[in-house]
Amino acid sequence: MKPAAKNFKGVYAFVATPTTDDGERIDEARLRQSIDFQISNGVDGITVFGSTGGIGSFSETERQMVIEIAAKQINGRVRFLPGTGAISTAEAIRLSKFAADHGADGVLVVPITYWRLTDNELYEHYEAIARSIAIPVGIYNNPGTTGVDIKPALVARIATIDNVGFIKESSGDMSRISAIRQLTDYKISVMNGNDACTPEAIAAGVDGWFAGSCNIMPKQCVELFRLGHEEKNIVAMRDYFQPMFPICDFMGLRGYIRVAHTACELLGRPVGPPRRPIRSLDAADRSYLRSLLVKARLIEERIAVGAA
């Protein structure tokens, strides 16, 4: 395994970006509280500005502010991997340099684009970012959100760049985990990014999990990964996941960001609404989510009724 890959294992919380109640300003106090909550529940790392963090909803200046606050709040207690993807290579480089200068352990780069990118354009994009910083760079493949699918052969090509050390694979195609591991000669860390497929991903050999569902149930995410990855108890992992699956599945159906913001409010840990035009769940979906939280014993039924 490449030196750039060795430290990227375990569960990384993809935290929602907290906002004030109108959704238009970042709430620094809530951000600090959210980070501390995740760390207290045993996560191995924190990522700001993943998809659940509304990466496309904030300006470059706002993203720098959040990266700086998060780095100071984490203060080396767990690893810090901010998302630094941007629609232009130049902006992604600026954000990646800023993250490196403020103590990030690596950066996670999702391709954000309007035009369909060619394989050469994607390779050159990652190459330019990786050359601009000394810390590890991660590939973030999320075709369902971005419309860009970085397939295993291209992942292997990008992985030849010295400090490209890991990938968050969110396609939901479990065969890609084995394909990426083999095509890269096991030199980069492969991280799951599709929460509903987590047991299958662990069984297929992922090194870690970037979990949007950590916003809702971080302790359970950490325990699930421990059962499957550390203890290699597939039966126990499968059984433990049963009450978690409907929540993870619903996140995929309605959008991780909408479900995360709504769930945090229902759980008594409000992080404000997503920034418009994205909204929290409507009344019907909110009620359904509440029922899932009750079934998973994340909130008590009497509290859920009172929060209707």
Within 10 angstroms of residue 126's Cβ, the number of other Cβ atoms is 24
Within 10 angstroms of residue 114's Cβ, the number of other Cβ atoms is 7
Cross-strand partners of 167 = 139, 190
| DSSP alpha helix (H) spans, the chain | 28-40, 60-74, 89-101, 119-132, 143-146, 152-158, 175-183, 198-204, 218-225, 234-241, 245-254, 256-266, 283-295, 301-306
Residue where the block lists tokens 């600026």: 94
Q: What is the pTM of this model?
A: 0.95
Task: Return per-residue pLDDT of the chain as tens, 308 residues.
Answer: 999 998 999 999 999 999 998 889 999 999 999 999 999 999 999 999 999 999 999 999 999 999 999 999 999 999 999 999 999 999 999 999 999 999 999 999 999 999 999 999 999 999 999 999 999 999 999 999 999 999 999 999 999 999 999 999 999 999 999 999 999 999 999 999 999 999 999 999 999 999 999 999 999 999 999 999 999 999 999 999 999 999 999 999 999 999 999 999 999 999 999 999 999 999 999 999 999 999 999 998 654 444 54
Query: Nearest-CA neighbor of 207 among 192, 227, 224, 220?
Result: 192
SS (H, E, C) 95-110: HHHHHHHCCCCCEEEC
- Which domains are seen in the chain, by residue range? 3-234 (3.20.20.70)
The residues annotated with a catalytic role in the active site are 140, 168
